[in-house]
A and B are shown apart, each in its own frame.
Chain A
């Protein structure tokens, strides 16, 4: 079943149970991202057992060029 997630400020309808499912669906390499779920950090080792629910707010960040 699809649920509503707010990812990086944008609403997305996705079918995924856990954080790791979401990253797979978005084709993101888990080694180069960090995830906040409702403003709390989800550690990489917990991606597999952190469940998502309707209306969850996620921040998925990575490293970019900067000074």
Chain B
């Protein structure tokens, strides 16, 4: 079956998996995990240069011929901080798009939709392709769509929690009503979580911890690749309706007695 590309604003990708670059044991494992994942988009963070720790820069370990780098605004607690971070990311030479994340609570890392929306409006106006991270809430998602977001990224579960898709019904409702791509971001702990997101009709999945902190990250990256592809195919194939009672798969006539 011909499945179209994932289109986010003017960006186009064959892979529907977006993978992070945080928390890996080392750059070598990260690079191999990225390869195994088949992802064409990797997220990065923007931070002050650390003068005490002059290790190699992560950019030397991302294959820029295969990967498009998506900067995030992780760690920002206000619209102003997030806007500043997005502008700086562009200034480093990264593509003019952003995973827009404004956090409202330290313990749960739940998004502050009010601040995120403020930042989204400013950045859209400045010509950024904006991908806001938000709750699994149809109202919030619609507001971001209305503000010009190129894709909306509701969470499956809290960041780094690995709890999976906690409210599949909410995700389904968001997907059914969206005019822009919906990418399930955060909470994916194992392959089946990614599959569930894709079976619900998500346009993509963004994850980091589930791979980076798996016992064998490279193998998990491969599992996630297959999981996203499986989920997408299952969604497009159209699942059978669930029935309460059995329905025999083999002919009921002609049984040897």
Contact = CB atoms under 8 A, between A and B. Distances in A.
B46 A64 contact: yes
Interface string B48-62: 110100100111000
A61 B186 CA distance: 25
A65 B74 contact: no
A51 B106 CA distance: 39
Contact of B47 (A31, A32, A61): A61
Interface in B85-105: 87-89, 91-94
B9 interface: no
A43 B91 contact: yes
A63 B49 contact: no
Nearest to B20: A67
B72 A67 contact: yes
B74 A61 contact: no
A31 B93 contact: yes
Contact of A65 (B23, B89, B92, B186): B23
B43 interface: yes
A64 B44 CA distance: 6
Please classify how large the interface on chain A is, using the bins under 10, 10 to 19, 20 to 34, 35 or more: 20 to 34
Interface string A25-40: 0111101111110000
B20 A33 contact: no
Contact of B24 (A32, A36, A63, A65): A65
Interface in A31-65: 31-36, 41, 43-44, 59-65
Given A61-B48, A61-B49, A67 B43 contact: yes
Nearest to A39: B84
Contacts of A43: 91
A58 to B, nearest CB: 10
A67 B41 CA distance: 11
Contacts of A35: 91
A8 interface: yes
B189 interface: no
B45 interface: yes
Nearest to A7: B51
Contacts of A44: 91, 93
Nearest to A63: B44
A26 B58 contact: no
Interface of A: 8-9, 26-29, 31-36, 41, 43-44, 59-67
6 contacts: A8-B51, A31-B93, A61-B92, A62-B92, A67-B186, A67-B209
Given A8-B49, A61-B46, A67-B72, 12 more contacts: A35-B91, A41-B88, A41-B91, A43-B91, A63-B45, A63-B57, A64-B44, A65-B30, A65-B45, A66-B22, A67-B20, A67-B43
